[in-house]
Amino acid sequence: MTVHKMYPKEVARKLIEKKELFILDVRTGSAFEDWKVEGANFEYLNVPYFDLIDGVEDILSKLPNDKDILVVCAKEGSSIMVADMLSEEGLTVSYLVGGMKAWSEYLEPIKIATLQDGGELYQFVRLGKGCLSYMILSNGEAAVIDAARMTNVYIRFAQEKGNKITHVFDTHLHADHISGGRKIAEKTGATYWLPPKDADEVTFSYEPLVDGNNVKIGQSTISIQALYTPGHTIGSTSFIIDDAYLLTGDILFIDSIGRPDLAGKADDWVGDLRKSLYRRYKELSNELIVLPAHFMIIDELNENGSVAASLGKLFKENHGLNIEDEGEFRSLVSENLPPQPNAYQEIRETNMGMKLPDEEEQREMEIGPNRCAVR
């Protein structure tokens, strides 16, 4: 029988549409436990490839005959071989093209809203990494916020929509993934904005993003209003878009809050984190739709695959926003931190321009889930 290919885009649609999928993951047990392709209706069997070299007979009884079967490995090579063996046994199977590396890099664009002037706001959901980035389109111009390193995705998307990227923003100096912001700006001639308090050690020029900056897109009524909200980093900056959408960066997520320790400053920054969440955001309208830079779990996705909720809802339901005692808040933040992101210091230095890793090195640095939140 023929072995089929399944591309990350197809897996993404199954995930968003909550379709059934059986995944045979042939990576090591530790790699599988740390990070896998997650979906609400996905089932899993993890059997390392080396246990299958001599044949797949022992696992045939564990595989369904009424569901799509997808074989997954790190880069695709091992999954092709296992899929071939299963096909020879009469099963209809697919393998994930590009493996977990390709899954980590796939971006799903989802329209969030039509803006006041007819422009559009899109969220790019990096399902395999939990990263979220944004594009605003208005009157032939585009702005990108918190771009991933897959820069051509954004440039091509803007071009297909008939827009030129004129502004690129990073809400903060990222430590869990390599920013594509500066490279997009170099390729398109756009202005690159970065909070100056996060930029003490950067080796490149940028436009300082400070509280109160108001950037117009496409000479229209659409504006990007900067709101200084330190805590995840000392320079962390939120954005209010079109008076309706609050881009919170890594300060506030749907089901959690940002961690303050990725630059080794947890004790110093936890107070800033609390002020941003409990004072600065409290001054804002509860009707604002929160659009974060990350999500932690698949359950945070809405029906259309977007990650968004009103600020008022989060003040009611997000535990990190409902701790009255400051001492208890400090304990929560300091005692519930997940492991540091893979290669986070190298990623920070890359985003500063101090390191220049090649494409494959960048992939390796980013492998694994994001870990920007307090649990």
CA-derived radius of gyration, the chain: 21
CA-nearest of 215, 209, 241, 239 to 227 is 239
Per-residue DSSP letter, 216: E
From 16, 24, 71, 73, active-site residue: 73
Tell me whether residue 372 is one of the annotated catalytic residues.
Answer: no
CB 201: neighbour CB atoms within 10 A? Answer: 11
Give the whole-angstrom CA distance, residue 284 versus residue 287.
Answer: 9
Residue 191 Cα distances to 188, 205, 303, angstroms = 9, 10, 34
Kindly compute the dihedral angle of the four CA atoms of residues 89, 91, 92, 96, in this order, to the nearest 10 degrees: -80
> According to DSSP H, which parts of 201-325 are helical?
266-275, 311-317
DSSP characters over 185-207: HHHHTPEEEE-GGG-TT--S--E
What end-to-end distance do the CA atoms of the chain give, in Å? 46
Q: How far is CA 24 from CA 8, 136, 166, in A?
A: 15, 38, 44
Residues acting as catalytic residues: 73
